[in-house]
A and B are shown apart, each in its own frame.
Chain A
């Protein structure tokens, strides 16, 4: 049974500048399901709508990003609720922390610069529980930190006293202190060097194993996906073009865009020059007709320029949107 079921989600950035309305089709008819205790990856180039998708799904979308259509259904302990039909800010606030939580980009400074880390923990926990007993709260945080392999001393530090990698680990600890059911991670490793990235990836894996929660991981870094994810969706120009378990994506990718992405990855021992994907992703203001990938696709035919392929299941758990791989209109 899926914990998260996204159906035909459509969200555009709609801006009105002196009567000129522009529509950026960031998320266009996206459907996917995420199961309990899995790590689900979303990959794609910059500007393909990954982060917008995450914002809408986690209920953090703000104008000008508008949700036009679709459903985002969560199932927490047999409770089913549609995120998009929650009108009340209070209801949404109740979800965060205990049920949904997010790990933001490492380059963002998410910790209040003028308060000690301890204060951030208190603030975040006190949204859901009143901290009456300081010793009990400290015990809870200490347990959580030691489970994640973090030192208790960081609680008394100010954010600027920590290194970038340390800060990101603290943020991950903060995001998971209430053992949320679903964690959204939006490029949690960007702006960190590879060694620190590894630490962060391992930390996320550890949380997934210990807290038995579901993690949705967005990044453009295929290496991170290869290390971490159980299943993977590839996004291109606001749409999911391929979805399968990670092994299938890396060894038996069907969509030309996915193969293009994978070709750019370095391999140990292979000294031939890496191919870069030709062209650039389309502007989401006026997307190409037909298959959105056809201007860059080596296999493009006349049909691809006119008709849009649907995302269909070609074998169990493997969905592709391409006419050449059994796709239909």
Chain B
């Protein structure tokens, strides 16, 4: 089992990581612009005068900083060496803070927000999908269906903006921006947690409402086929209770695509919710990435990308390992 199932998938996982890391290394180097030159021209454009000697010195130190010194091969070796030591280099825009530090401070915000969102919307969407598939003729089913189909196509940034305008501006119930109020002491006390929840509520809602719609529709599609399967009909004919049929017959058989989706989205948590975080000025990975792109902070962009590649592929690998436990028909082969 170990050799036939685990090993090939582990190798696949490693290959994905290596290819991803290589792409992160090569793609910026294939770009026509030179980060050092663009940095220098930016400085001169701002009116700084540098004499040629100072210019040359700056060029060298920038090359060292960017990891661009030496031949391509030397750079490549240095890149891997740095990866293995967990060093993603310093950020340029917030020099000399290491990229890892910035990731560490943004991560809890993003992970907190997106994990709660994912779990809430996944659980509610999945259960709603299974139950409505079992009662296709109920009035409530029709209402939920119409709502889901209406909500699902709304772009999430429109939803975010609409919520901000409605509940932070027109009816100022919730704060408009930020992760917590200025001047609140960060700590484990009820006042801070309450403040945190108040700030997280709108971003969370903008994601959860759309998330439920998506998970619901996917689950309902699969489950409405399962409901017509012989084993559900026979369980009904044999007098099994409806809760038992939903929990033991419909959900376990319809859950596979949901789990795959869940796994992929667990990985995406670490990539941040870019636009949502920008709209709500939420201090997460998404905002960090946005600012890094604006500031041409190559190291930071690369760091965030490396981080999300590792997170997504690790999540997929773990799910691959769990699959056979959930569906006996998937063999260890």
The complex places the Cα of A104 from the Cα of B253 at a distance, in Å, of 20
The reply to whether B238 and A127 contact each other, CB–CB distance below 8 Å, is yes
Return the 3 tightest CB-CB contacts between A and B, nearest first.
Answer: A108-B230, A93-B239, A110-B234
Instruction: List residues of chain A with CB within 8 A of the CB of B233.
Output: 108, 110
Give the docked Cα–Cα distance between A158 and B235 (Å). 17
Which residues of chain A have C-beta atoms less than 8 A from B229's C-beta?
109
Other-chain contact of A127, B240, B248, B253 (Cβ < 8 Å): B240
Q: Check B238–A112 contact: CB distance below 8 A.
A: no
Contact segment of B54-62, B190-198, B261-269, B323-331: B323-331
Chain A residues contacting B230 (CB-CB under 8 Å) are: 104, 108-110
Interface membership of chain A positions 98-113, coded 1 if the CB is closer than 8 angstroms to chain B and 0 otherwise: 0001101000111111
Report the Cα distance A112→B244, complex, angstroms: 12
A114 within 8 A of B: yes
Number of interface residues of B (CB under 8 A): 20
A96 and B329 form a contact (CB under 8 A): no
Supposing A108-B230, A110-B231 touch, asked if A123 and B326 sit within 8 A by C-beta, the answer is: no
Q: Is A202 an interface residue (CB 8 A)?
A: no
A238 interface contact, C-beta 8 A: no
Whether A124 touches B240, Cβ cut-off 8 Å, given contacts A110-B234, A111-B231, A114-B328, is: yes
**Which residues of A in the span 254-306 have a Cβ within 8 Å of any Cβ on B?**
none
Q: Mark A109-125, 1 if CB is under 8 A from B, else 0.
A: 11111110001000110
Is A123 a contact partner of B240 (Cβ separation < 8 A)? Answer: yes
Tell which of B239, B240, B241, B253 touches A114, judged by Cβ atoms closer than 8 Å. Answer: B253
Sample 28 A-B pairs with CB under 8 A, ordered by A number: A60-B237, A92-B239, A94-B239, A95-B239, A96-B239, A97-B239, A101-B238, A102-B234, A104-B230, A108-B233, A108-B234, A109-B229, A109-B231, A110-B230, A110-B234, A112-B231, A112-B252, A113-B253, A113-B328, A114-B252, A114-B253, A114-B327, A114-B329, A115-B248, A123-B240, A123-B244, A124-B238, A160-B329
**Chain A minimum-CB-distance residue to B251:** A114
* Binding site secondary structure of chain A: loop
State the CA gap A128–B241 with chains docked (Å). 11
Taking the nearest CB of chain A, how far is it from the CB of B166, in angstroms?
40
Of the four ranges (under 10, 10 to 19, 20 to 34, 35 or more), the interface on chain A belongs to 20 to 34
Q: Of A60, A102, A111, A114, which is in contact with the most chain B CB atoms at under 10 Å from its CB?
A: A114
CB of B156 closer than 8 Å to a CB of A: no
In whole angstroms, what is the CA distance A92 to B230 when docked? 19
Residue B157, interface by CB 8 Å = no
Could you tell me if B237 and A96 are in contact, using CB atoms closer than 8 angstroms?
A: yes
B249 close to A (CB within 8 Å): yes
Residues of chain B from 209 to 262 with CB closer than 8 A to chain A in the complex: 229-231, 233-235, 237-241, 244, 248-249, 252-253
Are A123's CB and B235's CB within 8 A? Answer: yes
- Bound together, the chains give a CA A123 to CA B236 distance in angstroms of 11
CA distance A282 to B271 in the complex (A): 64
Task: Tell me the bound Cα distance from A43 to B248 in angstroms.
Answer: 36
Interface residues of A in 121-173 (CB under 8 A from B): 123-124, 127-128, 158, 160
* Minimum CB distance partner of A111 in chain B: B231
CB neighbours of B235 from chain A (8 A): 112, 123
**Which of A94, A97, A123, A158 has the largest count of B CB atoms less than 10 A from its CB?**
A123
Give Cα A285–Cα B75 distance, bound, in whole angstroms: 79
What chain B residues lie within 8 Å of A95 (beta carbons)?
239
Measured in the bound complex, the distance between the Cα atoms of B235 and A160 in whole Å is: 18
Residue in chain A with minimal CB distance to B230: A108
C-alpha gap A110/B231 in the complex (Å): 4
Return chain B residues, CB-CB under 8 Å to A104: 230, 234
A114 to B231, CA, bound (A): 11
Minimum Cβ distance to chain B for residue A154 (Å): 14
